[in-house]
């Protein structure tokens, strides 16, 4: 089994409220996150506006908190153990930090602080003139050729996310991204869609955020992972060296499709997405349709874990 944790785009107002109301373990997670960042994030998650929640400084710790709250409930109320029942963990972009918390590499308090700083640093790194776009229905090798042909330091575009077969996200200067989109359509991409994001994430334009991220990472205590994590940047199972991997992840490619293929090639037949939404299980289904999928994202869905224990 692999347990996966969602990234930006899965957030919604009210996520996790049902388990917050029903389980003390969940409340403890939200309270600790609020305390660690000195901000009532739980109030924003449950009662705030979509506009405030989608600010990346809020989205990142919020999605992590929801996933960890569900995981704590599974562990303490349902007897689920990731060390006994999961072979791997993985998370998409910020979700990788959730995986680090789940596997004991980082404490919950440190994870929340890091994601708050990471979100603030990413939002301010390149506040204007950047863009991201999803390219659908064309092979990644073709997109690779397009971006390599047109990209340079002043007209930058690169692959940010290799999400699944037929879904690639590009990132960089707005005009360069639009140029790559047009060229993708010319080579028969099914669609090219500009994403509503606050910056050109997972591109070299995030370089100004590295110093702040390094500072907060260096202030945190890192342990070895109790369950190997398939890292975004390497698409291989890792148990240590995460500081370096997380710095590279900020400006590098999220190799999600390759990560899922790695898991499948190493015997994974079940995948459980823990946290808000169902985005990642949708991506897994397109890449590895033989993997059985589960979502733990509501009070009602918790009963599904009985099939996995």
70 neighbors 297 (Cβ within 8 angstroms):
yes
Name the residue among 149, 178, 172 with its Cα closest to residue 159: 172
200 neighbors 128 (Cβ within 8 angstroms):
no
* Dist. CA 228–CA 307, nearest whole Å: 22
* Dist. CA 93–CA 90, nearest whole Å: 9
Reply yes or no on whether 202 is catalytic: yes
188: left (phi over 0), alpha (psi -120 to 50) or beta: left
The partner residues of 170 in beta bridges, in order of sequence, read 133, 159
* Dist. CA 85–CA 91, nearest whole Å: 17
* Dist. CA 287–CA 291, nearest whole Å: 9
Reply yes or no on whether 93 is catalytic: yes
Residue from 164, 171, 202, 234 carrying the catalytic annotation: 202
Residue from 10, 42, 67, 93 carrying the catalytic annotation: 93
The catalytic residue positions are 93, 202
């Amino acid at each position: 089994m692999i347990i996966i944790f969602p990234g930006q785009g899965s957030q919604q107002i009210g996520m996790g409220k049902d388990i917050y109301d029903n389980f003390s373990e969940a409340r403890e997670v939200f309270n600790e996150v609020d305390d660690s960042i000195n901000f009532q994030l739980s109030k924003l998650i449950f009662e705030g506006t979509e506009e405030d929640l989608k600010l990346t400084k809020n989205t990142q710790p919020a999605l992590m908190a929801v996933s960890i709250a569900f995981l704590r409930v599974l562990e303490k109320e349902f007897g689920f153990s990731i060390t006994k029942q999961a072979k791997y963990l993985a998370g998409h972009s910020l979700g990788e930090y959730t995986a680090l918390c789940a596997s004991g590499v980082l404490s919950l308090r440190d994870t929340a602080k890091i994601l708050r700083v990471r979100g603030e640093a990413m939002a301010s790194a390149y506040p204007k003139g950047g863009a991201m776009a999803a390219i659908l229905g064309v092979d990644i090798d073709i997109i690779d050729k397009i971006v390599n042909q047109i990209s340079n330091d002043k007209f930058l575009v690169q692959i940010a996310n290799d999400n699944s077969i037929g879904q690639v996200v590009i990132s960089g200067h707005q005009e360069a991204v639009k140029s790559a989109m047009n060229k993708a359509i010319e080579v028969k991409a099914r669609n090219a869609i500009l994403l509503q994001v606050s910056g050109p994430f997972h591109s070299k334009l995030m370089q100004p955020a590295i110093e702040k991220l390094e500072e907060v990472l260096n202030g945190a205590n890192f342990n070895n992972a109790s369950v190997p994590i398939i890292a975004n940047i390497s698409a291989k199972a890792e148990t240590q060296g995460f500081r370096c991997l997380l710095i590279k992840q900020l400006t590098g490619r999220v190799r999600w499709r390759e990560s899922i293929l790695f898991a499948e090639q190493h015997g994974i037949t079940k995948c459980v997405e823990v946290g808000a939404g169902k985005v990642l299980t949708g991506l897994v289904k397109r890449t590895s349709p033989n993997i059985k999928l589960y979502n733990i994202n509501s009070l009602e869905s918790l009963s599904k874990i009985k099939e996995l224990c």
